[in-house]
Amino acid sequence: MATPALGFVGLGAMGVPMASNLLKHGYPLTVWARRPEAMAPLVAAGAAAGTSPADVAAKSDITLTMVTDGRAVEEVMLGENGILYGSRPGTLAIDHSTIAPDTARLIAAALSARGIDLLDAPVSGGAAAARAGTLAVMVGGRDSAVNQARPVLSCYAATIVHIGPNGAGQVAKACNQICTIVNQLGTAEAMLLAERAGVDPAKVKDVLMAGFGASRMLEVQAPKMIARDFDGKVESRLHHKDIQIVLALAQSLGLKLPASAAAADVLATLQQRGGARQDSAAVFEVLARP
Q: What are the residue numbers of the active site?
A: 173
CB atoms near residue 7 (< 10 Å): 31
280: DSSP letter? G
Rg over CA atoms, the chain: 20
Listed in sequence order, the DSSP H helices in the chain are 15-24, 36-44, 53-58, 70-78, 101-112, 126-132, 143-153, 168-196, 201-208, 216-227, 236-252, 258-272, 283-288
CA distance 134 to 25: 14
Q: How many CA atoms lie within 13 A of 191 on its CB side?
A: 30
Q: Kindly report the CA angle at 97 between 15 and 38, in degrees rounded to 5?
A: 25
By residue count, the chain amounts to 290
Three-class SS state of 157: strand
Parallel, antiparallel or unpaired: strands 135-140 and 123-124: antiparallel
Q: H or E segment at 32?
A: strand 29-32
CA distance 115 to 97: 22
Contact 257, 247 (CB under 8 A): yes
- Burial, 243: exposed, middle or buried (Cβ in 10 Å; 0-12, 13-18, 19+)? buried
